[in-house]
């Protein structure tokens, strides 16, 4: 058995996609994270869902109030 025999197609985003699009792809695919592709469509980085959401939430909203 080869890797291609068990490989599946997964949703990806590109470095030029918006955070909103990335969140939408994650939500629709029920994905725990995303693979981000570079301009040559090669994997650049794998982002966990928590990091994607952190990028979407403004810094001021993440600060705890005391």
- 43 pLDDT tier (thresholds 50, 70, 90): very high
- Among residues 29, 30, 28, 34, which one has the least CA distance to residue 14? 34
The per-residue pLDDT for 30 is: 95
Give mean pLDDT, residues 36-53: 94
- pTM value is 0.75
DSSP 48: E
pLDDT tens, residue by residue, 15-41: 999 999 999 999 999 999 999 999 999
Q: Which segments of 1-66 does DSSP mark as H helices, in order?
A: 3-6, 19-29, 49-56, 59-62
The per-residue pLDDT for 27 is: 93
CATH classification for the domain delimited by 7-57, as one of 3.10.580.10, 3.40.50.300, 3.90.850.10, 1.10.1040.20: 3.10.580.10
Biggest CA-to-CA distance, the chain: 57
**Phi, psi for 2 (deg, rounded to 5):** -110, 160
């Amino acid at each position: 058995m080869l890797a291609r025999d068990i490989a599946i197609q997964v949703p990806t985003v590109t470095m030029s996609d918006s955070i909103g699009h990335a969140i939408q792809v994650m939500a629709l695919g029920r994905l725990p994270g995303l693979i981000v592709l570079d301009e040559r469509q090669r994997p650049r980085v794998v982002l966990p869902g928590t990091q994607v959401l952190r990028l979407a939430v403004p810094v001021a909203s993440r600060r705890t109030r005391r």
